[in-house]
């Protein structure tokens, strides 16, 4: 969006045009079948050009059809933009500053355009977030479960979280268009072993493409998106038209074991039917629903019966013992290490360096 340029009132253009061709206002009034006063009020800018009068001007001045309607439309759009830029409150500027990090990301990705002032960027952001003023964001209501999640998390900035959710929608919109089936929780459960098998894939692009393909078969558009301060989110789920679902994860914490537990946890929410329209998952919010999703994730990654036998026999005391157990259940050994850390069977620093970290290389 470029710097706003002044657009003249069509009356100013009309005066210039009749002066150029040597036509008097009285003659124009006769040719257009209006009063002299009507012509005068249009020329001095106190009256706009109606659709019917615009057509009369096209005929009287020999202009292509729609010429004068376009002059009026261009001026109307200019007035709207001018009023928008001059009607931004201090509170809206503050909301915009709160979203600085995600705005910078939007600029980097080309979602917003740069080389303009903050007022113009605010107007762009309104359009991207689909709100007429940024200050309206905290007033937008969702279902009770969603509100409860937000209210329990004191580190949430409502503006950043709202913008981040919109980013998730934008990042998955092409996938949503290409999905051919609605979300199927039964199919997702069947495909869980295939999903978890990809934890062993060391090539990130292959892993992510594989996940997207499997989730697509289940009616889910999957994407890993950036996280931002003010939106301490692990996962985001939203139901969209056609019974399809958006599932987005972040790389908060970076450790691979945490990423895969979170992914299995979100699959738990999907399979447990926890997601009514939209669902934001914060790691700091605890509830029975979260515990059920945690239990689902634990069992999906490491089946409970062989795990209990493994720890009861103290086979976690050696690296080789952990590795053999991991091979037997078909997961990378660092997933077992992460579980042992979480359950207190190993100190947090034991084998922690063996757990891979996921980092953003670029923004594509």
Residue-wise pLDDT for 310-321, tens only, equals 999 998 999 999
Residue 1's pLDDT band (boundaries 50, 70, 90)? Answer: very low
C-alpha 54/C-alpha 68 separation (Å) is 5
C-alpha 190/C-alpha 145 separation (Å) is 28
Judged against a pLDDT cut of 60, whether residue 108 lies above it is answered with: yes
Token code pair at residue 276: 């009514």
Judged against a pLDDT cut of 70, whether residue 257 lies above it is answered with: yes
Q: Share the mean pLDDT of the chain.
A: 91
Query: Are 57 and 14 a contacting pair, CB within 8 Å?
Result: yes
Number of other CB atoms surrounding residue 204 within 10 Å: 14
Residue 68's pLDDT band (boundaries 50, 70, 90)? Answer: very high
Containing 216, the helix (H) or strand (E) segment is helix 204-217
C-alpha 286/C-alpha 144 separation (Å) is 16
Containing 305, the helix (H) or strand (E) segment is helix 304-312
Residue 360's pLDDT band (boundaries 50, 70, 90)? Answer: confident
Length of the chain: 364
Task: Tell me what the mean pLDDT of segment 191-198 comes to.
Answer: 97
Range from 130-134, 222-226, 356-360 carrying the lowest mean pLDDT:
356-360
Burial label for 21, CB within 10 Å (0-12, 13-18, 19+), is exposed
C-alpha 97/C-alpha 163 separation (Å) is 13
User: What global pTM score does this model have?
Assistant: 0.81
Token code pair at residue 220: 């889910």
Judged against a pLDDT cut of 80, whether residue 364 lies above it is answered with: no
Question: What is the pLDDT at residue 57?
Answer: 98
Most confident of 38-47, 79-88, 143-152: 38-47
Cβ neighbors of 297 (< 8 A, separation 6 or more) are 261, 262, 264, 265, 267, 268
């Amino acid at each position: 969006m470029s710097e706003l340029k002044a657009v003249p009132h069509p009356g100013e253009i009309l005066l210039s045009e009749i002066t150029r061709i040597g036509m008097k206002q009285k003659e124009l009034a006769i040719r257009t079948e209006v009063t002299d006063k009507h012509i005068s009020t249009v020329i001095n800018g106190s009256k706009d050009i109606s659709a019917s009068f615009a057509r009369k001007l096209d005929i009287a001045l020999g202009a292509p059809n729609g010429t004068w309607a376009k002059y009026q439309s261009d001026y109307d759009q200019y007035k709207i933009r001018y009023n928008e830029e001059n009607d931004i409150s201090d509170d809206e500027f503050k909301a915009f500053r709160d979203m600085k990090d995600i705005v910078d990301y939007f600029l980097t990705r080309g979602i917003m355009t740069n080389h303009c002032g903050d007022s113009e960027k605010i107007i762009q952001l309104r359009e991207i977030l689909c709100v007429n003023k940024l200050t309206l964001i905290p007033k937008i209501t969702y279902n009770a479960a969603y509100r409860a999640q937000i209210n329990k998390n004191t580190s949430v900035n409502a503006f950043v979280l709202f913008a981040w959710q919109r980013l998730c929608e934008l990042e998955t919109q092409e996938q949503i268009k290409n999905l051919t089936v609605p979300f199927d929780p039964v199919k997702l459960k069947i495909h869980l072993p295939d999903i978890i098998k990809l934890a062993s894939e060391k090539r990130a692009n292959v892993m992510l493409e594989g996940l997207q393909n499997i989730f697509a078969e289940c009616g889910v558009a999957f994407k890993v998106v950036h996280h931002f301060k003010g939106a301490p989110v692990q996962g985001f789920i939203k139901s969209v038209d056609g019974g399809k679902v958006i599932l987005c994860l972040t790389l908060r914490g970076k450790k691979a074991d945490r990423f895969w537990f979170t992914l299995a946890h979100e699959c738990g929410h999907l399979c447990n039917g926890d997601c009514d329209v939209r669902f934001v998952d914060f790691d700091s919010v605890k509830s029975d629903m979260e515990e059920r999703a945690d239990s689902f994730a634990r069992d999906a990654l490491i089946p409970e019966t062989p795990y209990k036998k493994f720890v009861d026999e103290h086979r976690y005391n050696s690296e080789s013992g952990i590795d053999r157990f991991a091979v037997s259940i078909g997961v990378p050994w660092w997933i077992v290490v992460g579980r042992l850390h979480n359950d207190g069977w190993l100190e947090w620093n034991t084998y922690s360096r063996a757990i891979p970290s996921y980092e953003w290389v670029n923004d594509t």
